[in-house]
Amino acid sequence: MANNYPIVQQTRRTFFLRTLAIAGILSLAQAGNIQAGTLQGKIIYHGPLPDKEEIVVKKDSETCGKTREVEPIILAQNKGVQDVIVSVEMEGQDSPAKDSGQPKTIVNKGCRFLTRVGTATVKQTLTIQNLDPILHNTHVRTSTRAFINVVLLPEAMGVKKALRKPGPMTVKCNKHPFMKGFIHVFSHPYHTVTDSTGHFMILNLPEGTHTLSFWHETLGTLQQTVTLPQKDGTILTIEFPAP
Amino acid sequence: MGLRQAFLWRFNHPRQAKACGLMMSLMASLIFSHQSAFAVESGGHNSSERGKRLYEESCLFCHGEVGQGDGPDAFSLGAYSAPRPRAFTGGEYKFRSTPSGEPPTDYDLFETMTNGIPGFMPSFRGLPEEDRWAIVTYIKQFSTIFQEIAGTPVVLPPGPLPATTASIIRGHELYALLDCAKCHGPEAMMPGGLYEQGELRDRRELDILPRDLHNLPSFKNGHQPRDIAKSILTGLDGTPMASYQEALSPHPEDIWHLVNYLMSLSPQ
């Protein structure tokens, strides 16, 4: 019986090592799935560009500048469109999986909203800050009602409020009407906004066929079906038609 | 000839039509308030049916059958006149004791109905108290917001404070510091620059006037110190008037100095 003891130990050790190995394989497989579930794309536009609007700033121009240029479409040299909200259509998913990594903070800085166009997930907290030396009010509205309309003192660290319902919201400063922004709240984490070159990436998307929605404040809405996993290095290219 | 044309045909100016509409609303509310008192005495209805009947008698004329703010009197205002009767279906209320974005409390709704809105909505104080509560319950069923969020009243700092000269001077400073002039004009002489630029609009994008701060009795949300403090701290949702709760949080007692300054503007 005395000799059996080391054998038992060895068996336990082997079992432990095998368990570790299986867990490792599983996690690798999962990592593989995550890789396969990554959706990469680019939004482009070749149509005519609307004229830029130049607004004369009548008050607080020492902070806001004397004029403000508003670009209806911000286009990169490679024809990529900035600030397109990209999301996956997912009906009936009310429980968010986890944070998608997009910013949920609206910062008033230089009389601009940073981030001007953003996405968020239900149950996350929206923080509104003012880093300017002047007063701002941040007026966030859903399609039917005020989500919050609050005045922020200069360099105020901010107000926080939980996002409860999915849907698009507009962001305005009534004191500086040229300040406008958008935030779209989703009930799932599969959403993002295109960067300055028009590129986007959504991580951890389940395999299968999905309908993607693309929304731009001037160009409108597009939809496209995509099947995951994509081949390695595939970048989906979506072109907005001219309005 | 449509109803609108037929109505306007009787008047040379839409304002006359609006005034007539308001008169009709007042007459209807007086007539119906008498009927309601009778109905309470006769009894025999459950609360929901009673609320519906009372709403249809007292509120439908302006707020519409299903609470969309589109009753016959709203129709007579014309499509581009503001402010319009509240659309209860949107779940957005100007007059609240709750933070911006939250629904009003039951008592807020009861208070608005009881006091009316000077120049716009008659007082329904003539209705028995239980009838007004029945209407509050009925109005709430037009929007799901009341099931989603329980509005919690903001806590007013201790006050009001005495309207001393020092307090009024501090209130005057706050008026400038908090940029009140952008809407209400320098020295509260309306209108402010944003109104002149056509930037003051309601949720329907209709132009609205900032309140004349030299006419205390015209304050829509009441003109007692606590009423004014409530409007400033909670904001008037659906309008550019934002909540100043955060801005006044470093010195909460400042709200009473601001109130004292605003109250000093009206002739005593």
Structural domain boundaries in chain A: 1-36, 37-240
Domains of chain B (ranges; CATH) run 3-78+93-148 (1.10.760), 165-264 (1.10.760.10)
Q: Which residues of B touch A (CB under 8 A)?
A: 90-92, 99-101, 145, 148-149, 178-179, 182, 193-194, 197, 199-200, 203, 235, 237-238, 240-247, 250
Q: Is A139 on the interface with B (CB under 8 A)?
A: yes
User: What pLDDT does A168 receive?
Assistant: 97
Q: Tell me which residues of chain A, numbers 164 to 183, contact chain B at a CB-CB cutoff of 8 Å.
A: 164-165, 174-175, 177
What is A37-240's CATH number, 3.30.1180.20, 2.60.40.420, 2.40.30.40, 1.20.1090.10? 2.60.40.420
Please judge whether A145 and B197 are an interchain contact, meaning their C-beta atoms are less than 8 angstroms apart.
no
Condensed to tens digits (0 to 9), the pLDDT of residues B17-65 reads 444 444 445 444 444 344 333 333 333 346 789 999 999 999 999 999 9
Give the closest-approach CA distance of B247 to chain A in angstroms: 5
Higher pLDDT, residue A186 or B80: A186
Mean pLDDT by 10 residues, chain A (243 residues): 38 41 35 60 95 91 95 94 95 53 81 94 93 96 95 89 94 94 94 96 90 96 89 86 85
Condensed to tens digits (0 to 9), the pLDDT of residues B204-261 reads 788 888 888 888 888 999 999 999 999 999 999 999 999 999 999 999 999 999 999 9
- Provide the number of CB pairs (under 8 Å) joining chain A to chain B: 78
Give exposure, A115-131, as e/b (b: 16+ Cβ within 10 Å). bbbbbbbbebebebbbb
User: What pLDDT does B231 receive?
Assistant: 96
Please judge whether A150 and B242 are an interchain contact, meaning their C-beta atoms are less than 8 angstroms apart.
yes
Please judge whether A151 and B199 are an interchain contact, meaning their C-beta atoms are less than 8 angstroms apart.
no
**ipTM of the prediction:** 0.77
User: What pLDDT does B27 receive?
Assistant: 47
DSSP B132-155: HHHHHHHHHTT-THHHH----PPP
Q: Which residues of A touch B90 (CB under 8 A)?
A: 144-145
Which pLDDT band, with edges at 50, 70 and 90, does B80 fall under? confident
User: What pLDDT does B87 receive?
Assistant: 92
Please judge whether B243 and A148 are an interchain contact, meaning their C-beta atoms are less than 8 angstroms apart.
yes
DSSP chain A: -TTHHHHHHHHHHHHHHHHHHHHHHHHHHHHHHHHHT-EEEEEEE-SPPPPPEEEEP-SSHHHH-SEEEE-SS-B-TT-BBSS-EEEE--TT--S--S--S---EEEEETTEEESSEEEEETTPEEEEEE-SSS-EEEEEE-SSSEEEEEEE-TT---EEEE--S-EEEEEE-SSSTT-EEEEEEESSS-EEE--TTSEEEE-SPPSEEEEEEEEETTTEEEEEEEEESPPTT--EEEEEPP-
Please judge whether A149 and B247 are an interchain contact, meaning their C-beta atoms are less than 8 angstroms apart.
no
Report chain B's mean pLDDT, rounded to a whole number: 83
Strands A208-216 and A220-228: antiparallel
Give the closest-approach CA distance of A225 to chain B in angstroms: 34
Question: Residue B8: pLDDT above 50?
Answer: no
Please judge whether A135 and B247 are an interchain contact, meaning their C-beta atoms are less than 8 angstroms apart.
yes
User: What pLDDT does A103 receive?
Assistant: 53
